Structures are given as structure tokens and as C-alpha cells.
């Protein structure tokens, strides 16, 4: 684990520096799918740097990356790589994006590393060892009055304007002071772990950027459950998740379930 953490920290900064150096100088922008997602040459360049190191140091591990896909290995250890979380932001010159690396063991996250290059903020979380931003311990905070709270909304690309999602978004927008959509999910998870926002509602958004954030919040004292209030564990192809400080969980579940009726 120590070797994995050292590798992830070193290589994620290298990948992030590539994005920072090429910010506002995108040379190759392509539509990635039919849902409006895009990919740039920076996604591929940053990904190549990360994958080369992981496969060299841990050749028997399974690796799944946002652009390259799965390496075909079979292992209890799985690396999840999102080389540029927030590519749409990056492409339009909005400096809100990260790189995310997660190490899973038997479908549970044990290491999460997220780097925000434009602010030089490095977020690191290890199972049982807490969550840190630039070596400072992070702690999720309770919100005394959720009506004055700020929550993050995350939805999968395929959700689009699904009527149930639209209804829930509108419901949440009316019940909190602010509902935030950053187009960079890992950063929202880190903000919750750091105590900068008060909760996250995730609607059917599974990908290489999810599990580093879940670990970050858990290790910062937050709680992560499904829409029924059951503890979220393992991996799901269609996750529906609520995350916040434990003191706010009952109210968060109540609000989300109201919006789903």
C-alpha cells in the first residue's frame, strides 16, 4: 500500500502538470459519445503517463482507465484512472478539473488520490488512515440548518433530462441554499470531505471518478448511503448515492425520498 500511494502521488502530479501546461491551448477536441462528453489530447497524454507507471510497477494488477478501458487482467486489485475529470470544463477554459486515481481491493476502495493542478491541491485518502489535502487532515462538517446548506449534484452522462432526475434536481434546488454542478465530480467529493459543502446527491453516475471520492468522504468522517439509506459498499453499474455528515443523514434521505415520489 505504501508503494502504491507513493506511486499514485508522484504520477498524478506529473499528469496534472500536463493539463496545467496545456490549459487554454487545446489542440484536439473530439466528441466522445452522444451525450455531449468530449475528449482532448490532454486526456490521452495524462493517461499514458499514469498507465505506464502503474503497469510497470504492478504488472499483475487489473487497470481500468477512462479512455484506454480495461487492460484485461484478472486480479483482486483494480486501479481506476480518470486522467482528466472535468474535460468539458478544461475544453472551454474553465479551470475546474482534476486527475483521479483509485486503488480498489476486492471491489472496495483502499486508496484514493485526486490532484487539482490549477490550485496545486493534492487530496490523498487511505483506508483507515484518514483523508488529507496537502498533508492537512480533512473533516466533513455537520450543517446546523440544511436549508442554508450547499450540496453537490452529480449525474451520469446518460441521465440527460430523465424526468425523474429533473424532478429530483428541482426539488433539491428549492430545499437548499445552493445546489452545485461542477462537471468535475471528484472535486465535489473532495469539497465535501474538506467541509466546504454539506452533501452530495449522485444520480446513476458510475465511473472511474467515483470511488476515490467515496473513500475521501468516508475517511473524513462522512457517511455514504443509497437512496434507501442503506450503507453503500462494493461497486455498482447504476449507483444512486447520498453523502454527508452523519448528523445530517436522516434529513438528507428524507429530502431525497420526497423528491423521488
Q: pLDDT digit string (tens) for 25-72?
A: 988 888 877 676 788 999 999 999 999 999 999 999 999 998 999 999
Distance between CA atoms of residues 261 and 258, nearest Å: 6
Q: What is the pLDDT of residue 13?
A: 98
CB 178 within 8 A of CB 172: no
Element spanning 6, H or E: helix 2-21
| Range(s) of the chain covered by CATH 3.40.190.80 | 146-260
Q: Which stretches in the chain have pLDDT values below 50?
A: none
Class of domain 2-137 as given by CATH? alpha beta
CB 187 within 8 A of CB 163: no
Q: What is the pLDDT of residue 37?
A: 78
Q: What is the pLDDT of residue 36?
A: 65
Q: What is the pLDDT of residue 27?
A: 84
**pTM, to two decimals:** 0.95
37 marked as part of a ligand binding site: no
* Upper half-sphere CA count for residue 161 (Cβ side, 13 Å): 1
**3-state percent helix, strand, coil for the chain, nearest multiple of 5:** 35, 30, 35
85 marked as part of a ligand binding site: yes
Determine whether domain 146-260 maps to CATH 3.30.365.10.
no
Q: What is the pLDDT of residue 137?
A: 98
| Range(s) of the chain covered by CATH 3.30.540.10 | 2-137
215 marked as part of a ligand binding site: no
82 marked as part of a ligand binding site: yes
Sequence-separated (6 or more) residues with CB below 8 Å from residue 186: 82, 85, 98, 100, 114, 209, 212, 213
Amino acid at each position: 500500500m505504501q508503494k502504491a500511494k507513493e506511486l499514485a502521488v508522484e504520477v498524478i502530479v506529473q499528469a496534472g502538470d500536463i493539463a496545467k501546461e496545456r490549459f487554454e491551448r487545446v489542440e484536439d477536441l473530439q466528441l466522445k459519445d452522444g451525450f455531449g462528453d468530449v475528449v482532448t489530447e490532454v486526456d490521452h497524454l495524462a493517461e499514458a503517463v499514469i498507465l505506464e507507471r502503474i503497469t510497470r510497477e504492478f504488472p499483475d494488477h487489473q487497470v481500468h482507465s477512462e479512455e484506454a478501458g480495461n487492460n484485461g487482467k484478472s486480479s483482486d486489485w483494480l486501479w481506476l484512472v480518470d486522467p482528466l475529470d472535468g474535460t468539458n470544463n478544461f475544453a472551454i477554459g474553465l479551470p475546474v478539473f482534476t486527475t483521479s486515481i483509485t486503488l480498489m481491493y476486492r471491489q472496495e476502495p483502499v486508496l484514493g488520490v485526486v490532484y487539482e493542478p490549477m490550485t496545486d491541491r493534492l487530496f490523498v485518502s487511505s483506508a483507515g488512515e484518514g483523508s488529507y489535502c496537502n498533508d492537512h487532515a480533512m473533516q466533513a462538517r455537520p450543517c446546523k440548518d440544511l436549508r442554508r446548506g450547499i450540496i453537490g449534484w452529480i449525474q451520469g452522462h446518460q441521465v440527460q433530462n430523465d424526468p425523474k432526475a429533473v424532478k429530483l434536481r428541482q426539488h433539491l434546488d428549492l430545499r437548499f441554499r445552493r445546489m452545485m454542478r461542477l462537471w468535475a465530480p471528484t472535486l465535489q467529493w473532495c469539497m465535501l470531505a474538506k467541509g466546504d459543502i454539506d452533501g452530495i446527491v449522485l444520480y446513476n453516475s458510475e465511473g472511474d471518478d467515483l470511488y476515490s471520492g467515496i473513500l475521501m468522504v468516508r475517511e473524513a468522517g462522512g457517511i455514504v448511503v443509497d437512496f434507501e439509506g442503506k450503507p453503500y459498499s462494493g461497486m455498482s453499474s447504476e449507483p444512486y448515492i447520498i453523502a454527508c455528515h452523519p448528523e445530517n443523514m436522516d434529513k438528507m434521505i428524507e429530502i431525497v425520498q420526497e423528491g423521488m415520489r
